[in-house]
Structure formats: C-alpha cells, structure tokens
Amino acid sequence: MKIKSLVISAATVALASTAYIGLSVAFDDDSHDWGDYQVEDRRSGYTYRSAETRALQDDEFENPGMVGVDHGAELWNIAEGSEGKACADCHGDASESMAKVGATYPKFNAASSKPINVEQRINLCRVENMGAEPFKYESGEMLNMTAFVKNQSLGEPVNVVIDGEMAPFFEKGKEFYYERRGQLDMACSHCHEDNEGNMIRADHLSQGQINGFPTYRFKWQKLGSVHRRFRGCNKNIRATPYKYGSDEYVNLELYLTWRGRGLPIETPAVRN
Amino acid sequence: MLKQKSLAKLLPLTVAAAGFFATAAVADVAPSDVVIVDDNEIPQALTDTAGDAAKGRELAVNRKKGNCLACHVMPIDEHGFHGEVGPSLWGVGGNYSAAELRLRVVNYKVLNEDVIMPAFYVNSNKMHRVLKKFEDKTLLSAQEVEDIVAYLQTLTEEQPD
C-alpha cells in the first residue's frame, strides 16, 4: 500500500511539473469529438486538460484518486457507532444500491427542508442511522467515502431535480454564480462562461463543471471536495470564502450540477 | 473642472487608500476624488511624480500587482503564457492618450459595466465579501497607476503578424 502510493505520487509530481507544457495543446478545436464528455455546448473539464492528464484519469489503476475510492470501499464495510452497523449492513452491495445515486445530488431533504449533497447525506446516515460521529467535511474519510459513493455512478449522466421545492435554492445558486465578489470584483461567469476556452496566464479556462468531484488535483496531491474548489476560486479573486457545507455552497453546487446536466460522473476526475 | 480639495480632507483618505504602500506622496488623488471626464478619460495625473515606465512594465508582469499579462498579450518576451482574455496591448500607446489609458486602468467598468478587467484604483470597500486583509485598499497605489500608464504610453508599436 505504502509503496504503491509512493510510486503514484512520484509519477504525479512528474506529471504536475510537465502539465503546464501540455496545456499549450489547443483543445479549442470545436470539431473535435469529445464523445460523452460533451453534451451540446456543455463540456467536462476533462476536455480542457492535457492528454497526459486525461490518460491518467482514464486508467483505473494509475488514476491517483482510486486510492481514495479503494479506502472508501473498505470503510463501507466497517461497523461503527452505537448501532454497531456498517453502511453495507443497510445498503448491501454499493454497486447496486448506490448505482446512479451520485448523479442525482444535491437532493431535497425533507427533514431540513433544503437540498443536501452526498457528503451531507453520508453524515446523516452516520449520525442518525449508525449513531456514529459525523465525518469532518474535508477529512480523508469523508472525501474517500464520497468518492466511493460517486464512483458507483461512473459514466452515469448527471441528472438533478431543480423544480418544485428545489426551485428557490436553484435560484440562489444561480444568483451566486453571476454575482461579483472579492477585491478583483469578479463573478464565476466572468471566467467560466465568458472566457471558457481562453488562457488566463498559464491556466486554460474550462466551464468549471463539477461532474468529476471529489477530484484528484496535482496541486493538492490528494482528493478534494467541490467546496474546496469553490473556496479556492473565491480566494483567488480575494473574496472571503464560505464554510465547507454552507447553504451558499450547496445551492451553488446544485446550480453547477444542473449546468453540467447530461455530462457523465467522472469521480475521481484528475485535474492539474 | 478639477475639484478643489482641502488638505484636511485629502490626507486621511490617501493614507487609508495607500495602505501599506509606504511611498504614497501627500498629493496623491484619493480614489473617491478621481475626476472622470466624458466617461472616457482622467486627464489629471494621480500623483505629482511622473510615472516610471520601467517600473510600470514590472508591475504589469507581477501577479500580485497589475498581472496584466494574465489577460493581455504584451510585448514582454521574457515571460511566457500571455493571456487571451482581453485584447492585445501592442499599440495601445498609439491608440489612446495618457488620460484615456489612465481611465482604463483606474476603472474600466466606466466603459463596460460587465467587464472582467479589475478596477485598479477603486477602494475595495465598494466590493462584495472582500477578504479581510484586502479590505479598504486599492489594487494599485496612485503612483503604481501612473507607472503603468507611463509604460502603456511606450507601447506604440503594432504587433507583428
């Protein structure tokens, strides 16, 4: 285990340092057929990354995010909490019970009258069904379990409900997306909608799609949640980020999930 | 047309806006006192000290200052990765006067309210959810704006094909 992850991280360091060179490869060619990674004008972040990065994501054994997924699979079977239950005791084989689940979140939660994401759904089960402590949001356990659950939907088209009781939350997420913030006074839309496909210094701007989260980033050297990415994109424009799991970020996650409707779940995606 | 301002009013504003830029001169025009003419130019220099084009060039490259290269192609060969977000700045010195360039650096939103380009000399108190350490500041000091304007004026050559 140790040795395997060492080898992988050495490989990724090498890749990380060459990734910027790979970036200069032009993917703006509209005629390129991206297969499932493009639905109408919606393109996965995958299509903006270098050939090396894409190859790493595609290889189930080399993909550095799979270490986390494997750990999530172990956790799935471990009993914890006052009820002495494991996820598997109630949900059985995840490849059946969790197939497609990850593609439908955030989902409305009647008890709290608001949408929750997969991380929050997992913690509900831990606290209410297992009598266990909730995972800390950006902890290895939470990321790995979330990656494991989402990975059961690999290739499944993103399909999230936005009408009915979800509608007001969707609207809030959309407002957030178009609202300027931070000392640089920019909205998400300025980079990921108006300038998608353009280079911003060394970075090739994508549409900021979230169908691959938790994502393995070379920069992080580990899996990270979509809220971590939101926080990074907020701090880069010198804006105060919101808390992990905040209502603001869950609403934004809902809106962004809808922006990527039809794109395949890629968890764990690999990005620079 | 330039506003008459008392030193008493000017001083605290300048000190606050200049923040840690210790080099601020007493005569700097505060962000709130900048006079925009015809929604297109700022004829009055923001400081008494003439802009230094060499410093302006460095500020245009510096990621923590102008970072103009993030969005613009510029005649700065020693750095790769010029951005494609805005138009090339080759030739802007020939296309615009110093007053017009100053407005564009101070606050491009006067010309285009949807623009991505940051306003480099507007107090961040006007913006939403600014990180604490950047509160009550401008992106560039008055002198840094002048340095960049001086540099842009030297960009008279058109980009070779």
pLDDT at A5 exceeding the cut of 60: no
Neighbours of A13 (CB within 10 A): 12
Binding-face residues of A in 161-180 toward B, CB within 8 A: 179-180
Q: Max CA-CA distance within chain A? A: 57
Rounded CA-CA distance B21/B30 in Å is: 14
CB contact under 8 A, A186 and B118: yes
| Closest chain B residue by Cα to residue A193 | B116
**Distance (Å) from the alpha carbon of A96 to chain B's nearest alpha carbon:** 44
Structure token digits, residue B98: 């110093």
Q: What is the pLDDT of residues A38-93, one digit of tens each?
A: 999 999 999 999 999 999 999 999 999 999 999 999 999 999 999 999 999 999 99
- Alpha-carbon radius of gyration of chain B: 15
CA nearest to A220, candidates A153, A271, A164? A271
Residue B56 lies in a domain: yes
The answer to whether the complex's ipTM is over 0.95 is no
In the predicted model, is pLDDT for residue A27 greater than 70?
no
pLDDT level of residue A26 (50, 70, 90 thresholds): very low
Cβ of A201 under 8 Å from any chain B Cβ? yes
pLDDT at B146 over 70: yes
Mean pLDDT for chain B overall: 89
Cβ atoms of A20 and A199 within 8 Å: the answer is no
Q: Among the listed ranges A141-155, A168-182, B4-18, B118-132, which one has the minimum average pLDDT value?
A: B4-18
CA dihedral A26, A28, A33, A38 (to 10 degrees): 120
The pLDDT value recorded for residue A23 is: 39
**Å from A211 to nearest chain B CA?**
25
Give the whole-angstrom CA distance, residue A47 versus residue A210. Answer: 13
Determine contact, residues A251/A83, Cβ cutoff 8 Å.
no
Give the Cα separation of B109 and A116 in Å (integer): 37
Mean pLDDT of B64-79: 96
List the single residue in A180, A182, A195 with the smallest CB-CB distance to B85: A195
Average pLDDT over every residue of B137-143:
98
What's the whole-number mean pLDDT along residues A147-157?
A: 98
Q: Tell me which residues of A are annotated as active site.
A: 233
Q: What pLDDT was estimated at residue A12?
A: 39
Q: Which residues of A touch B127 (CB under 8 A)?
A: 180-183, 185
CB B70 within 8 A of CB B14: no
Which residues of chain A does CATH 1.10.760.10 include? 2-61+158-271, 66-151
Closest of B96, B65, B62 to residue B79, by C-alpha? B62
Calpha distance A137→B59 (Å, rounded): 39
β-pair type (A215-217, A270-271): parallel
Homologous superfamily assigned to A66-151: Cytochrome c-like domain (1.10.760.10)
pLDDT, residue A29, reads 53
Q: Alpha carbon A58 to chain centroid distance?
A: 16
Q: Which residue of B has its CA nearest to A176?
A: B128
Does the beta carbon of A181 lie under 8 angstroms from any beta carbon of chain B?
Answer: yes
Band (B23; pLDDT cuts 50, 70, 90): low
The type of residue at A104 is: T
Mind listing the pLDDT tens digit for each residue in A101-136?
A: 999 999 999 999 999 999 999 999 999 999 999 999
> Helices A167-178 and A247-259 meet at what angle, rounded to 10?
90
Q: What is the mean pLDDT of residues A13-36?
A: 52
- Rounded to 10 deg, the angle between the A66-76 and A2-23 helix axes is 140
Tokens of A41: 């004008």
**CATH number for the domain that contains residue B69:** 1.10.760.10
Residue with tokens 């080898």: A7
Chain A environment of B129 (Cβ under 8 Å): 181-182, 234, 239-240
A2-61+158-271 CATH? 1.10.760.10
A209 has pLDDT over 80: yes
Assess whether pLDDT exceeds 80 at residue A21.
no
How many domains does chain B fold into?
1
- Mean pLDDT on A203-226: 98
Q: How far is A251 from chain B (nearest CA, A)?
A: 18
Which residue segment(s) compose the domain that B115 sits in? 29-154
Domain assignment present for B41: yes
Contact list in A for residue B69 (CB cut-off 8 A) is 201
Q: 3-state SS string over chain B?
A: CCCCCCHHHHHHHHHHHHCCCCCCCCCCCCHHHCCCECCCECCCCCCCCCCCHHHHHHHHHCCCCCCHHHCCCCCCCCCCCCCCCCCCCCCHHHHCCHHHHHHHHHCHHHCCCCCCCCCCCCCHHHCCCECHHHCCCCCCCHHHHHHHHHHHHCCCCCCCC
CA-to-CA distance for A255 and A161, rounded, in angstroms? 10
pLDDT at A6: 37
How confident is the model over A217-238, as pLDDT tens digits?
A: 999 999 999 999 999 999 999 9
Whether the pLDDT of residue B26 is over 90: the answer is no
Share the mean pLDDT of chain A: 91
How deeply is A22 buried, as exposed, middle or buried, from its count of CB atoms within 10 A (0-12, 13-18, 19+)? middle
- How many CB atoms within 10 Å of residue B21? 15
| Residue B150: pLDDT over 90 | yes
**Partner A contacted by B39 (CB < 8 A):** no
Would you call B127 an interface residue with chain A, using a CB distance cutoff of 8 Å? yes
